[in-house]
Amino acid sequence: MIQEIKESTDHLISRGFDAPEIGIILGTGLGQFIDEIEILAEVSYKDIPHFPTATVEFHKGKLIFGKLEGKKVVVMQGRFHLYEGYSLQDVTYPVRVMKELGISKLLVSNASGSINLDYKKGELMLIEDHINLQGGSPLAFHGVEQLGERFVDMSQPYDAVMNETLENTAKEHNIILHKGVYASVLGPQLETRAEYRYLKIIGADAVGMSTVPEVIVANHLKIPVSAISVITDEGNPDDLKPVDIAEIIAMAEKAEPQMITLFKELIKKI
């Protein structure tokens, strides 16, 4: 993998990706963020050596380099998921490439369903901890110790300083920003009523199908990370209605401007 990471990185450098400081992963329905960036270079995933290719229709599949709030950023417009048939190493490969390019911070977003019914559609949740229910680890492969310590401490997977900045920014801009625990499941099917009850019992506030693998690898690489969930649907097992994926996308797009404000202000301050 080390050689593959180098080849991917060298290709991106040749395409103008010049020492980004901050990596950003955009989740489902969260594409307006790109409009805020002064784009200097962009490459489709399919043109990057050894990169997976996004197969979900609402994920664009581009790596973008540019400037935002005076900082150089590299942005994943579209991420990879286990439910697309990728391995956990595939899903997290871009994080390793972004680290090789030079990032020292990682910001992650996703769309999720609320387990905590005090968290409503269109609101945001700052992830302060997570539960990995994806059935594996992106660090469970032969040779991982060549890329970092095998036994990674996860007592505080999300950076306290960046999270505090996001909380203060939310207060300054009158943005509702809950704090909670994110559970990451395999998918792609949505949860049953019994599964929603189970997730509540084990302490989850929101559930989705991403983010945790990337955060584990960020910790493996010692990259401070913050993550925000956009609540796009509510998982009330006593009043569970069929999920409309188009509605989830629309809700993510509606809530995204608040997330953009939080990320922009954080980038300005870090």
Which amino acid is located at 247 in the chain? E
Quick one: average pLDDT of 226-250?
A: 90
Residue 245: pLDDT band by 50, 70, 90 thresholds?
Answer: confident
Q: What is the separation, in whole angstroms, between the first and last Cα of the chain?
A: 31
Quick one: average pLDDT of 103-115?
A: 96
- State yes or no: pLDDT of 155 exceeds 70: yes
Quick one: average pLDDT of 8-26?
A: 97
98-125: b or e for each residue (b if 16 or more CB lie within 10 Å)?
bbbbbbebbbbbbbbbbbbeebebebbb
CA 82 → CA 29, 210, 258, distances in Å? 18, 8, 28
**What is the pLDDT of the chain when averaged over all its residues?**
94
- State yes or no: pLDDT of 54 exceeds 70: no
Question: Strand 124-133 and strand 225-234: pairing?
Answer: antiparallel
Domain residue spans of the chain: 2-269
Residue 3: pLDDT band by 50, 70, 90 thresholds?
Answer: very high
Q: What confidence score (pLDDT) does residue 56 get? A: 55
Of the listed ranges 43-57, 167-181, 214-228, the least confidently predicted one is 43-57
Quick one: average pLDDT of 85-106?
A: 97
- State yes or no: pLDDT of 22 exceeds 90: yes
Q: What confidence score (pLDDT) does residue 55 get? A: 55
Quick one: average pLDDT of 248-267?
A: 91
Residue 60: pLDDT band by 50, 70, 90 thresholds?
Answer: low
Q: What confidence score (pLDDT) does residue 248 get? A: 85
Other CB atoms within 10 Å distance of the CB of residue 143:
9
Domain 2-269: state its class.
alpha beta
146-170: b or e for each residue (b if 16 or more CB lie within 10 Å)?
ebeeeebeeeebbbeebbebbbebb
Cis peptide leading into 242, omega within 30 of 0?
A: no
Residue 8: pLDDT band by 50, 70, 90 thresholds?
Answer: very high
- State yes or no: pLDDT of 247 exceeds 90: no
Q: Does residue 133 contact residue 183 with C-beta atoms inside 8 Å?
A: yes
